[in-house]
Amino acid sequence: MTLTLTGRKALVTGGASGIGEVTAQVLAKLGAQVVIADLAADKLAAARLRTGACGITAGDVVSEADCNRMVEEAGAIMGGVDLLFNAAGIGDDLLPVHEQEVDRWQHVLDVNLRGTYLMCRAAGKQMLRRGQGAIVNVSSIVGLGAFPGRSAYGVSKAGVVHLTKTLACEWGAAGIRVNCIAPGYTRTPMVQDLLDRNVFDPTLIEQRTPLERFAMPEEMARAAAFLLSDWASYITGTVLPVDGGWAAYGAAGDVRKIRTGEG
């Protein structure tokens, strides 16, 4: 048996860079028709060439009208939408709650949670009419546990988990599966920007991760492709941590010292 998406029609948000772009490329290689969507309209044409997407659509996931239009445009290009991967998202300012600007906090929630909700809602309506579909949202390890200084991002990604489970229960009988992945620290442009600004020390992340490294976007893309495929036909409402063992590790200190008996 070979995992294939031949004949499937996929819309990928955040498709002009990072996990979204790489996932679009993987889905296309597995045989799916793919339309990529992004707020950065000027980057879509080049990303289309890199991913092998059959079409592009630009818009802001915070806007209900844009979300509806992007789904409609993707459906017009491909003859429908039966797969959705919600990768559009932004990071936060890494500040404690009492120093966080309320407007910035709200903006992170709007993009990450409201945007996921609106895209699921728009695509879900089309999938409900067709009687089939699969959606994969993007949460985060930051949405599964408390990370001081990341209240906006953490709350938004925890909300994505709850939304995913709710939609899975609401739409399961209609033939629509809804799951999400919870990435660990991944070598994306967003994370690289944090590293370039010395916001955190990458060695501390590696020491805390049982696989002792950051993830690559391809590893997120393969997990998403599995959940979107018929190989996951009886999986819905689940959160798949793709985190190198981060969520499993509960000891104190450096994982490498624990492993070698030094800690």
Active site residues: 153
- CA 181, 186, 188, 190 torsion: positive or negative? positive
Numbers of helices and strands, H then E, in the chain: 10, 7
The residue type of 74 is A
The residue type of 101 is E
Q: Are 81 and 130 in contact (CB under 8 A)?
A: no
Q: What is the strand order of the sheet 83-86 is part of?
A: 55-58, 33-38, 9-13, 83-86, 133-138, 176-183, 239-242
Rounded-to-integer distance, Cα 159 and Cα 155, Å: 6
